[in-house]
Amino acid sequence: MPLEFALPPLEQRVAELNRRHAHHAATVVLEHALRDPQVGRIAMVSSFGAESVALLHMLSVIDRTVPVIFLDTEMLFDETLAYQAELSETLGLTDVRIERPDRDRTFLRDGEAMLHQSNPDACCALRKTEPLLRALEPFDGWITGRKRYQGATRQALEFFEAEGDGTARIKVNPLAHWDRNDVQDYIVNNRLPRHPLVADGFRSIGCKPCTTRVAPGEDERAGRWRGKAKDECGIHFVDGRMVRA
């Protein structure tokens, strides 16, 4: 249902939301975001990756009927697909929406499934960015599991962001201020099932061809697009711009 009253401009709403929630805990930020008319209709986007279970569990405790969008790029690990199905059932999530690339466009642009080798940005655009934009059309905002410690491009992350692509959509990052220990403590304290690849040295898990194990002492996202000048898949913004082909 569309919002029935005039909202302030996007940037103004985001600034007010960040001011209001500056010192709040992650659970409070998430709970308020789900009900705040300044945010509007909202969904969670989850990779069901190495740390996703913490935020997914938090959502299931507050409201398990909130839509959860899962992008199946058709190049994911089998373990991720199995984990997604298992975790959705375990947490009782009732509206998990599995989004896949457009078949015709994939056939025309990546018929051999080798685009990731020659142009990883174009591959991410085809298999992640475009399906996500379609999935988000009914929503005014979306929830992510991004955190400040996950790399240089995320160090200034706030709880609320303006999407910045002309959609007037708000992005909510309830775990922005958490550190690695906060995530692990939450998983342990709530006895949550871990992604099976975590025990095998994968600390940030994306598509199979573009994800490698992370050595001790490396940044947790060092295993994503290793050896390439790329550290975001394209569904998020860096300095106000979407990273895409």
Taking the C-alpha atoms of residue 34 and residue 224, their distance in angstroms, rounded to an integer, is 31
Distance, in Å, from the CA atom of 114 to the CA atom of 34, rounded to the nearest integer, reads 39
φ and ψ of 82, to 5 deg: -65, -40
Query: What six digits make up the tokens of 83?
Result: 């984990």
Tokens of 99: 């989004």
Q: Sign of dihedral through CA atoms 198, 123, 68, 148?
A: positive
Q: Which two tokens stand for residue 230?
A: 């790329």
DSSP-derived pairing of the beta strands 160-162 and 170-172: antiparallel
Residues 6+ apart with CB under 8 A from 113: 75
* Residue of 123, 207, 210, 233 marked catalytic: 233
Q: What are phi and psi of 191, to 5 degrees?
A: 55, 50
124 is catalytic: no
Residue type, 34: L
Active site residues: 233
